[in-house]
Amino acid sequence: MDKHAGPLLREWRQRRRLSQLDLAIAANVSSRHLSFVETGRSRPTSEMILHLAEHLDVPLRDRNALLLAGGYAPAYPERGLAGPELTAVRHALQRVLAGHEPYPAVVVNRWWELVDANAAIEIFTKTAAPELLQPPVNVLRLSLHPDGMAPRIVNLPQWRAHLLARLHRQAQATGDPRLAGLHDELAAYPGGEAGRPPATDVVVPLRYRAGNTELSFLSISAVVGTPMDITVSELAIESFYPADETTAAALDRPRRSFLPNDRCRPPTPSPHCPLVVATSVTTVRSA
């Protein structure tokens, strides 16, 4: 039997490690009423569901699920990124990607599926097995799969541990079974155990062999602010920056042997530059 809104709200409260009193104080509702809502003794209004969901930082997709469980219509649309309503967002993302060149950058959705990328992403995809580049491309699978980037990642144990920890936190925070399943899949890939990073490191870099050059990157994640559409709320930009002068110099050369000469653009993306391959897509996420 499907759960009602009250028990689902309780699950979200427990996921956020809040007591009923904590949430009642933060949301300015009585703890007695909150208890009645969670146990099903009181049917919450749609406004109360959204009010509590806001204080619990529930993703928009899951707020709609709460509303449906309460017997109400969804409040947030989920439009395709290629649709006219999201033209401004799509163009803004493309400007960010183009402006980040010659450094790699991607746009991913909630499940780490590739939505868009700039041409510099070929640094990472050039030697990957073709099946890993078939849409929808999962960038975490591409990173850690033995036929993907993994053989060229110099510090694979450390980078693998970083990605798995990040994915685990995301799965825990959202309760999303797809993310939990992805974590279990990736954790089963070989990669070694991570030791303690050097005391001089301020971030965990991605150290990657591109041809005869070892490149070192740090990553920064960002999202679209104040989204009111599910697709937009689940988009994130993952941008890679040089972590040392050697990498900056290698990527800033006018001719780079491991980068394409031209951007590939839809509607004819190549396997190494798969732009806009997923249109069904939280907080700035630290990398």
Write the pLDDT tens digit of every residue in 75-128.
Answer: 999 999 999 999 999 999 999 999 999 999 999 999 999 999 999 999 999 999
Tens of pLDDT, residues 142-165: 999 999 999 999 999 999 999 999
The CA distance from 14 to 25, in Å, is 15
Q: What is the spatial distance between Cα 160 and Cα 195, in angstroms, rounded to a whole number?
A: 11
State yes or no: pLDDT of 41 exceeds 90: yes
pLDDT(284) > 60? no
Count the neighbouring beta carbons within 10 Å of the beta carbon of residue 230: 21
Q: CA angle, 91 as apex, 253 and 101 as ends, to 5°?
A: 10
> How far apart are the C-alpha atoms of 142 and 286, rounded to whole Å?
20
**In the structure encoding, which two tokens stand for residue 39, read together?**
């146990």
Structure-token match 């009645």, residue found: 36
With 60 as the cut, is the pLDDT of residue 199 above it?
no
pLDDT at 269: 41
Higher pLDDT: 59 or 195? It is: 59
Q: Measured in whole angstroms, how far is the alpha carbon of residue 218 from the centre of its chain?
A: 16
Task: Give the model's pLDDT for residue 2.
Answer: 59
d(CA 127, CA 8) in angstroms, rounded, equals: 44
Q: What is the pLDDT of residue 33?
A: 96
In the chain, at which residue ranges do the beta strands (DSSP E only) sit?
105-108, 114-117, 206-210, 213-223, 236-242
How many other C-beta atoms are found inside a 10 Å radius of the C-beta of residue 163? 21
Instruction: Return the closest-CA partner of residue 279 out of 109, 105, 139.
Output: 109
